[in-house]
A and B are shown apart, each in its own frame.
Chain A
Amino acid sequence: MSDLNAFRAEVREWMAGHLNGKFAELKYRGGSGEGDALPDLRKEWEQELARGRWTCPGWPAEHGGRGLSVAEQVVFQEEYSRAGGPGRMGHIGEGLMGPTLIAFGTEEQKKRFLPGILNGTEFWAQGYSEPSAGSDFGNIKTRARQDAETGDWLVSGQKVWTSLAHLSDWIFVVARCEEGSVGRNGLIFLLMPLDQPGVDIHPIKQIGGGSEFNSVFFDNARAKAEHVVGQPGDGWKIAMALLGFERGISTLGQQMGFQQELDLIVDIAKENGADRSPAVRHRLARAWVGLRAMRYLAMRVLSDEPAADTRREGLAYKFHWSNWHRDLGRLAMDVLGMDGNVISDDPRRERLQQMFLFARADTIYGGTNEIQLNIIAEQGLGMPREPRGKS
Chain B
Amino acid sequence: MFNDKAVAIRASWTFMILEFTPDQQMIREEAERFLREKSSSEAIRRVVDARATHDAELWNSISRELGWCAMAVPEEFGGLGLGATEVAILMELAGARLACAPFWSTVCLAAPLIEAAGSDDAKTTYLGGIAAGEMAVTVAYADLSAADPAATVAVQATSTTDGYRLSGSVDQVIDLAVADIVIVPAKLDDGAVALFALPRNAGQKITPLNVMDATRPIASLELAKVEVSAACRIDQGGVTEGQFAEALRHANLGLAAEQIGAAQGAFGLTLDYISERVQFGRSIASFQAIKHRCAKLVVDIAEARSLVFGAAASMDQAEATASALEIAGARVLASDLQFLAAEEAIQLHGGVGFTWEYDPHLYFKRAQASAALLGSREAQMDNIAAALFSDGGRP
Q: A78-B15, A263-B10, A288-B9 are in contact. Are A281 and B294 (CB under 8 A)?
A: no
Say yes or no: A303 contacts B19, CB within 8 Å.
Answer: yes
CB <8 Å contact, B389 and A316? no
Contacts of A300 in B (CB 8 A): 17-19, 306, 309
A302 and B288 contact, Cβ closer than 8 Å, known pairs A259-B10, A285-B388: no
A297-B303, A320-B299, A381-B294 known; A286-B18 Cβ under 8 A = no
Question: In the bound complex, do residue A310 and residue B19 qualify as a contact, i.e. CB atoms below 8 Å apart?
Answer: yes
- Asked whether B394 is an interface residue with its Cβ less than 8 Å from the other chain, the reply is yes
The answer to whether A71 touches B285 (Cβ under 8 A) is no
Q: Is B378 an interface residue (CB 8 A)?
A: yes
Q: Taking the complex as formed, is B283 at the interface, i.e. its CB lies under 8 A from any CB of chain A? A: yes
The reply to whether B294 and A377 form a contact with Cβ atoms under 8 Å apart is yes
User: Which of B17, B25, B302, B309 contacts A316 (CB under 8 A)?
Assistant: B302
Interface residue? B186 (CB, 8 A): no
- CB of B22 to closest CB in A, whole Å: 11
Kindly specify which of A123-131, A271-279, A348-356 makes contact with the partner chain.
A271-279
The answer to the question of A284 belonging to the interface, with a C-beta cut-off of 8 Å to chain B, is yes
Q: Which of B17-75 contact A (CB under 8 A)?
A: 17-20, 25
Q: Does B241 touch A at the CB level, under 8 Å?
A: no
- Smallest CB separation, B314 vs chain A (Å): 9
Which residues of B sit under 8 angstroms from A277, Cβ to Cβ?
A: 395
Residue of A300, A304, A319, A370 with most chain B CB atoms under a 10 A cut-off: A300
Main secondary structure of the interface of B (DSSP, over half): helix
Contact residues of A between 34 and 88, Cβ < 8 Å to B: 70-71, 74-75, 78
> If A288-B9, A288-B388, A293-B329 touch, does A313 touch B295 (CB 8 Å cutoff)?
no
Which of B16, B304, B378 neighbours the largest number of chain A CB atoms within 10 Å of its CB? B16
Which among B14, B15, B18 has the highest number of chain A CB atoms within 10 Å? B15
Nearest CB of chain B from residue A117's CB, rounded to whole Å: 26
Q: CB distance A303 to B18 under 8 Å?
A: yes
Q: Which residues of A contact B16 (CB under 8 A)?
A: 1, 71, 299
Within 8 A of B (CB), among A335-391: 370, 372-374, 376-378, 380-381, 383-384, 386
- CB under 8 Å from chain B, chain A span 268-325: 269-270, 275-278, 281-282, 284-286, 288-290, 292-297, 299-300, 302-307, 309-310, 312-317, 319-320
Q: Enumerate chain A residues within 8 angstroms of B302, measured Cβ to Cβ.
A: 297, 312-314, 316-317, 320
Task: Given A78-B13, A286-B332, A384-B285, decide whether A307 and B388 contact each other with a Cβ distance below 8 A.
Answer: no
The answer, yes or no, to whether B384 is at the interface (CB within 8 Å) is: yes
Cβ 8 A contact of A285, one of B296, B301, B385: B385
Within 8 A of A (CB), among B381-395: 381-382, 384-385, 388-389, 391, 394-395
9 interchain residue pairs of minimum CB distance: A296-B310, A289-B329, A313-B302, A377-B291, A281-B385, A384-B286, A376-B295, A285-B384, A297-B306
Q: A292-B329, A300-B18, A313-B306 are in contact. List 5 more A-B contacts (CB 8 A).
A: A276-B395, A292-B326, A293-B307, A383-B275, A383-B286
Contact surface of B with A, Cβ cutoff 8 Å: 9-10, 13-20, 25, 271, 275, 283, 285-286, 288, 291-292, 294-296, 298-299, 301-307, 309-311, 313, 326, 329, 332-333, 378, 381-382, 384-385, 388-389, 391, 394-395
User: Could you jot down 26 A-B contacts, CB within 8 Å?
Assistant: A1-B14, A78-B13, A78-B15, A275-B389, A275-B391, A276-B395, A285-B381, A285-B384, A286-B381, A288-B9, A288-B388, A292-B329, A300-B309, A304-B17, A307-B19, A307-B20, A307-B25, A312-B302, A313-B301, A316-B298, A316-B301, A316-B303, A319-B299, A370-B292, A376-B295, A383-B285
Tell me the A residues contacting B by CB distance below 8 Å: 1, 4, 70-71, 74-75, 78, 252, 256, 259, 263, 266, 269-270, 275-278, 281-282, 284-286, 288-290, 292-297, 299-300, 302-307, 309-310, 312-317, 319-320, 370, 372-374, 376-378, 380-381, 383-384, 386
